[in-house]
Structure 1
Amino acid sequence: MNELHEYCGSDEWRQLIREVILPWALGETDLGDNVLEVGPGYGATTDVLGEVAARVTSVEIDDELAAMLTERFADTPSVKIINGDATRLAFADQTFTGAACFTMLHHVPTTELQDRVFAEVARVLRPGAALVASDSLGSDELAAAHEGDTYNPVDPATLPDRLAAAGFGDVSVKTTEFGWAAIARIS
């Protein structure tokens, strides 16, 4: 990620995640006691998930961010950081009671790889478990902020079909002028 993403490690961003984005995206969704988080980045969402779930396993592909998160959450027994690739999750089928990915899918370089993330998350979720995902809407401003970085925004209108193809049912998608959130369950 480019240097502009350091904002994602700021107290201001953490507050926005805690007070606005997560409550809006999650609503009343219960992710259970064994949650998979995909793409924690600087860990703002991990902070919140680690407070509400008995176990959170966060998979981060970026080596430096994974190392930073491992150190940061070393004294938090409910949180485990894995340096890995969410397109090839190293977990057994039906391991997790819920999953979350927030403001990270636009960093996955292709639609095909995004769909592979969805399929892998579906594979490791238990029947009835929910995936809650959220990201920004694509814009020229955000594209400029990602100069020298991967920027592949998700069109929320495509999510119902893409999530269904990955194995999810009961998909709901909502948007604001800035972003989208989706909740999808394993049948």
Structure 2
Amino acid sequence: MAMNIFHRLLCRSSMWERTSATRIVPWALSGLDLGAEALEIGPGYGANVPALRDRATTLTGVEIDPVLAARLRARYGGSMTVIDGDGTDMPLPPGNFDSVVCFTMLHHVPTAGLQDALFAEALRVLRPGGVFAGSDGLDGRLFRLIHLGDTCLPVPPETAAARLCRIGFTDVEIDTGASSFRFRARKPD
């Protein structure tokens, strides 16, 4: 999942971490209880980790890039478990988490089929009644400019609810903001 140099610099900046902590995560998770055991798919450089550590007792991250996984372990190893793995085929047992989250990474999953596989994996690792939530960017000129040379397949928010329902989620909610959308869905009891 390629990212251009500008995008890599942005994602590991303190500015992005502040944006994540003060805007992205609070908006995406507003009113949600993540429960005790939370999983973040694709934590990348870890911008969301500080905000997520306050919302769950135990935080686990599944990261596809081994360099980023090692960086996450070095930076947050005492406060989260980092697993090398692909969100579309996670090396985790079923029904292990109260919540699964992902932020600003779905558009880096290269095909709609793999995005749906990631959704199915989120459902698989959730406990009954668990929540899948997060956010992703909206397609547009600036979004595409930032992603020049990247793997970039935006998830259309107008199709996201149907896709999540087709996978087996219930209580699906999609809300669109100025430059991103958030999603929430539950695993049936």
Superposition TM-score tier, normalisation by shorter sequence: over 0.9
Q: In structure 2, what is the Cα distance between the partners aligned to 1:61 and 1:132?
A: 19
Q: In structure 2, what is the Cα distance between the partners aligned to 1:24 and 1:51?
A: 15
Quick check: 1:42 aligned with 2:42?
no
**Corresponding residue for residue 73 of structure 1:** 76
Structure 2, unaligned runs of 5 or more = none
| Mean CA deviation greater in 50-59 or 117-126 | 50-59
Quick check: 1:103 aligned with 2:104?
yes
Offset at 1:51?
2.5
Quick check: 1:185 aligned with 2:177?
no
TM-score where L is the length of structure 2: 0.94
Q: In structure 2, what is the Cα distance between the partners aligned to 1:75 and 1:131?
A: 25
Q: Which amino acid aligns with 1:56?
A: L
Please give the per-residue CA displacement for 1:139-179, whole angstroms capped at 9, x wherever unaligned: 12222221221010010011111001111000000001211
Please give the per-residue CA displacement for 1:6-63, whole angstroms capped at 9, x wherever unaligned: 2111111111111111111111101111101001011011221122211111011012
Q: In structure 2, what is the Cα distance between the partners aligned to 1:46 and 1:165?
A: 30
- What fraction of aligned residue pairs are identical, expressed as a percent? 44
Q: In structure 1, what is the Cα distance between the partners aligned to 2:29 and 2:125?
A: 20
Any conservation in 2 of the 1:94–1:127 contact (CA below 8 Å)? yes
Q: Which runs of 4+ in 1 moved over 6 A?
A: none
Q: In structure 1, what is the Cα distance between the partners aligned to 2:4 and 2:148?
A: 8
**Corresponding residue for residue 2 of structure 1:** 4
Any conservation in 2 of the 1:46–1:58 contact (CA below 8 Å)? no
| Equivalent pairs, count | 185
Structure 1, unaligned runs of 5 or more = none
Offset at 1:103?
0.3
Offset at 1:66?
1.0
| Mean CA deviation greater in 46-55 or 173-182 | 46-55
Any conservation in 1 of the 2:33–2:55 contact (CA below 8 Å)? no
Q: In structure 2, what is the Cα distance between the partners aligned to 1:160 and 1:53?
A: 25
Any conservation in 1 of the 2:34–2:55 contact (CA below 8 Å)? no
**Corresponding residue for residue 152 of structure 1:** 153
| CA RMSD, 1 decimal | 1.0
Offset at 1:75?
2.9
Among 42, 56, 59, which residue is 1:56 paired with? 59
| Mean CA deviation greater in 48-57 or 117-126 | 48-57
